[in-house]
Structure 1
Amino acid sequence: MPSPAAIDAATVGHKIGDISAAIAAVARAEGLSINTDFGGHGVGRTMHGDPHVANDGKAGRGYPLRAGLVVALEPWFLQTTDELVTDPDGWTLRSADGSRGSHSEHTVAITADGPIVLTDRSFLGVD
């Protein structure tokens, strides 16, 4: 799951870089490597739309976050390398050195009242 820090940064008035910096700060605090070849993205009428949400970035930079924007936050954390390789199936990704990795995704709507995690099923009373 993307860190609460990244979700908390997904607020009106912030920028995409604030989300990216929050993701990276959590990874670094845990001693993890961050893959920057992939990341999150805007959610709309096309798959993987703009804006791109990098997994490492500079706070205060990038696309301004406005109410109504929906983004997928997709951290890619790896144990000992930041490089991924693609399996022969053309789909499966693995760390280049065989170490453990983690990828997760949450879709977040940015609203005037704060972020809403659309992929959090707990509000439905479902585990």
Structure 2
Amino acid sequence: MARATVSSSGAEWATHIKTGRHELLSDEPQALGGQDAGPAPYDLLLASLGSCTAITLRMYAQRKQWTLREVGIELSHHKEENRSKIHRVITLQGDLDEEQRARLADIAERTPVTLTLKEAADIHTELAK
């Protein structure tokens, strides 16, 4: 189970994020009133998707004993007709044939974070007492 706590206070929009033993900042860019002290929320979303994709592809290739030296992923997000669109371009470096490359492309469509975003998550919100 994944867990995170986020806190924000003061005049700026920066948020302090704790997840496990890791801490980071998120903020809005200056153009949106932030101080650009860390990645913006959608940047973190794309980073999560890219990280999950790279990790899953490398794990799969290792299990199959394929020579996959590096996975590079470029991602972008925009809205189109009130629906989010994410574009993901994956670069695979290694001694892979076309069948292996096609299999990795198929696996990329079924990584845990990819499936969560495609299926949409149920979000339950409550106010602490």
User: TM-score if structure 1 supplies the norm length?
Assistant: 0.30
More helix by share: 2
Whose Rg is larger?
A: 2
Q: Taking CA–CA contacts closer than 8 Å with sequence separation of 6 or more, which of the two structures ends up with the larger relative contact order?
A: 1
Name the TM-score, length of structure 2 as normaliser: 0.29
